[in-house]
Amino acid sequence: MKFGLWICAALLMAGPATAQQGATTPMQPIMSPMTLSFGTATPGGGFPLYGDAFAEVMNAADPTLKLQTRNTKGSTENIPLLEDGKLDLALVAGEPAYEAFKGIKRSPTKLKILTAVYSNPGMFVVRADSPYKTIRDLIGKPVAFGARGSGLVFLSRYVLDGLGLDQDKDFQAVYLDSAGEGPAMVLDGRVAALWGAGIGWPGFKAMSGSPGGARFIAPDAAEIAQIRGKHSFLKPLLIGANSYPQQPVPIASVGSWSYILARETLPDDVAYRLAKTLHGAEAALGARLAQARETTAGNTVAAAPELAMIHPGVLRYYREIGLVK
């Protein structure tokens, strides 16, 4: 009897793997705790807002997960940090991701998409009492284009280049140390306009909710066609009516999708686990943050330039649920 008790104790001390080998019935796998570093951007911008919401919801959905957000300079810093293995996951805007995947001015990256985040229609915002009504009205004026490392700066360069304009030569371009500085600079007159993108972007919310109100300036239909004629990877996107205070009509523009990218060496089983947890938590994430309603498995498949750019572990889960073949 004592010998039998000793054997049982030894099996328990040996851990789950040994116990499972001797079991006659299948056992549920024991999920080990997992801490992942998650890069966002400078305070006051859309990425830290989204990143905090994402981490909070994912950590609640799977208590063995611990996503730790980290403020960075934004997309342009996040990509090399991921490639160097100094971050596990990071938010990256569509344009820097596109350049990295395609090897524009660099070698093609081996980073992978964990999920599409949200679409980013780009536009300017000015004070409601401003005389500026079109993009060309802003030529020669001081314009805040975002934080230096932000993907917003990439988007504005592509949009303006599509119109035959140079961001640094045709405007008095102002680059911020922190994204949160922009609205105050427009309101006190230091700059004529602020560039931004997306639904729920903090800079747009601050401007449109200010006492004096604000006005948005986006490319018109002819300009959208002109931009896409040169940069076809930019997609026509729409900001629905009332997405911001005092914005009663929809606004058409162009832009792309932002992503959460993963380091190349993130194990397949970890990516699979993240994709499965996220799919189950989509509703909770959308309830936590309006713009996060676009963070879905279906949108990830639609937004990825190529399926091969999605992490293999994520694709394995998508195949299981019948989303891809």
Q: Going residue by residue through the chain (325 aa), what tens digit of pLDDT does each one get? A: 443 434 334 433 333 333 333 333 344 445 668 999 999 999 988 999 999 999 999 999 999 989 999 999 999 999 999 999 999 999 999 999 999 999 999 999 999 999 999 999 999 999 999 999 999 999 999 999 998 888 999 999 999 999 999 999 999 999 999 888 999 999 999 999 999 998 889 999 999 999 999 999 999 999 999 999 999 999 999 999 999 988 999 999 999 999 999 999 999 999 999 999 999 999 999 999 999 999 999 999 999 989 999 999 999 999 999 999 9
Check which CATH number belongs to the domain holding 237 and give it: 3.40.190.10
Residue 102 lies in a domain: yes
**What whole-number distance in Å separates Cα of residue 48 and Cα of residue 27?**
39
User: What residue type is assigned to position 300 of the chain?
Assistant: T
Burial class (CB in 10 A: 0-12, 13-18, 19+), 322: exposed
Residue 29 lies in a domain: no
Residues 65 and 154 both lie in one domain: no
**Number of domain units in the chain:** 2
User: What residue type is assigned to position 170 of the chain?
Assistant: D
Last-in-domain residue among 223, 256, 289: 256
Q: Which domain holds residue 293?
A: 34-118+257-320
Last-in-domain residue among 211, 232, 256: 256
Residue 181 lies in a domain: yes
What are the distances in angstroms from CA 259 to CA 22, 166, 255? 44, 27, 13
**What whole-number distance in Å separates Cα of residue 298 and Cα of residue 279?**
10
Residues 114 and 261 both lie in one domain: yes
| Threshold 0.85, pTM exceeds | no
Residue 165 lies in a domain: yes
Q: How many Cβ atoms from other residues are within 10 Å of residue 274's Cβ? A: 27
Residues 113 and 79 both lie in one domain: yes
CB neighbour list of residue 12: distance below 8 Å, 6 or more residues apart: 19
Residue 21 lies in a domain: no
How far apart are the two ends of the chain, measured CA to CA in Å?
A: 55
What are the distances in angstroms from CA 47 to CA 25, 73, 86, 241, 316? 46, 11, 18, 23, 27
Residue 131 lies in a domain: yes
Last-in-domain residue among 256, 289, 306: 256
